[in-house]
Amino acid sequence: MHALLSLKGDDFSAWRQGRRGPKREADRAHAGRVDAPVVSAARARARAESAWQACKGARRSSQRGNEGVRRMNEKEFVHTVAERTGLSRQEAADLTWATLETLAHRLSPGEARDLIAELPQGLAQPVRRGTTDRIERFGHHDSVRRVAERTMLKEEEADRGVRTVLTVLREAISEKEFNDLMSQLGTDFSQALESPG
């Protein structure tokens, strides 16, 4: 106490600063330790929120991608087939349905489900009707004959029609799904699709 009384002016200020300095530093360190869990929790919440937003964004992108796959509705699909084959709209609709139902006989149930998921509802129906547990084995020419019988078209018209439906289908569904479809239909169909006329 006597030492304290002997301090004057700047010496006393320095003494007081020295007394308060360490305490203040200790207080700050203590405050840092108290706040650290709060800050960590806030950062964790922010990271979790950021991850959730990223997840939602990816899901929206995925949904937009799936929507992008469905570039045609049933009306547009049939109209395109009619334009490319020169058939009436009703003939093109009958041809499209007959082709999809016939081709569905060649598909496994799993592949048929994948195709249905990417088709407009009206065009998914003939695929459902044609899907069975047993995969039938027939080539492009047999499919043309079956479609001709069902639509009352001439075989050359049915041939051009089946190839046109496959071509429009390639434009209406995802590339992956179309490739999966063609891998089950086989090289006979692939060659027919790529042949002119």
Residue 57 CA to residue 44 CA, distance in Å, equals: 20
Comparison of pLDDT for 71 and 128, the residue scoring more: 128
* Measured torsion, CA atoms of residues 148, 153, 159, 160, in degrees rounded to the nearest 10: -150
Residue 119 CA to residue 134 CA, distance in Å, equals: 22
Instruction: Give tens-digit pLDDT for 148-194.
Output: 999 999 999 999 999 999 999 999 999 999 999 999 999 999 999 88
Residue 10 CA to residue 14 CA, distance in Å, equals: 6
Residue 131 CA to residue 124 CA, distance in Å, equals: 11
Give the predicted TM-score (pTM) of the model: 0.64
Amino acid at 131: T
Residue 1 scores a pLDDT above 60: no
Instruction: Give tens-digit pLDDT for 94-107.
Output: 999 999 999 999 99
Asked if residue 72 lies in contact with residue 172, where contact means CB atoms within 8 angstroms, the answer is yes
Contacts by 132-139, CB closer than 8 A, 24 or more apart: 132/105, 133/109, 135/105, 135/106, 135/107, 135/108, 135/184, 136/105, 136/106, 137/106, 138/105, 138/106, 139/186, 139/188, 139/189
Instruction: Give tens-digit pLDDT for 65-97.
Output: 444 444 689 999 999 999 999 999 999 999 999
